[in-house]
């Protein structure tokens, strides 16, 4: 019985930890911080990831900028200020024509009133057909 209780507690704690990893300064919560496209080919069209951010704080929140780690990844984001409870998006599109190779591209997101930027990742592996 103790073993089952320990397992249940571990699962509950891991769920809280996963949620905490996507919440930043108690003000912004991302639905995910990593999108794994898996295996794609050099001939596949560009791959797009949408990261949803929710203002979980009590003050307005603005996505100030989102910068990709290379020219192969285009980024757009919600420009309007998010009121408490509102959601916005950061959309990143990876053009995979330079493969084949594994990739892990970073999008650095700067948010108002949050000192450290949020790092979002696009990853996967590009292979020949």
Query: pLDDT tens, 16-55?
Result: 444 446 888 889 999 999 999 999 998 899 999 999 999 9
Please tell me the distance from the alpha carbon of residue 118 to that of residue 30, in angstroms, as a whole number.
Answer: 9
pTM exceeding 0.75: yes
- What is the DSSP annotation of 77-107? E--SPBPTT-EEEEEEEE--TT-SEEEEEEE
Determine how many CB atoms are found less than 10 A away from the CB of residue 122: 24
For 82-104, how does the pLDDT look when each residue is reduced to its tens digit (9 = 90+)?
Answer: 999 999 999 999 998 777 899 99
CA dihedral sign, ordered 22, 28, 34, 35: positive
**Site of tokens 């809280």:** 16
22 touches 30 (CB < 8 A)? yes
């Amino acid at each position: 019985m103790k073993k089952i209780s320990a397992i249940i507690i571990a699962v509950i704690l891991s769920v809280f930890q996963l949620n905490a990893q996507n919440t930043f300064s108690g003000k912004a919560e991302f639905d995910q911080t990593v999108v794994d496209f898996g295996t794609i080919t050099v001939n596949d069209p560009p791959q797009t990831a949408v990261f949803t951010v929710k203002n979980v704080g009590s003050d307005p929140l603005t996505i100030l900028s989102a910068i990709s780690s290379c020219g192969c990844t285009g980024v757009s984001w919600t420009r309007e200020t998010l009121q408490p409870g509102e959601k916005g998006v950061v959309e990143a599109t990876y053009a995979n024509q330079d493969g084949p190779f594994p990739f892990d591209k970073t999008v650095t997101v700067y948010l108002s009133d949050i000192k450290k930027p949020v790092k979002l990742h696009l990853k996967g592996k590009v292979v020949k057909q």
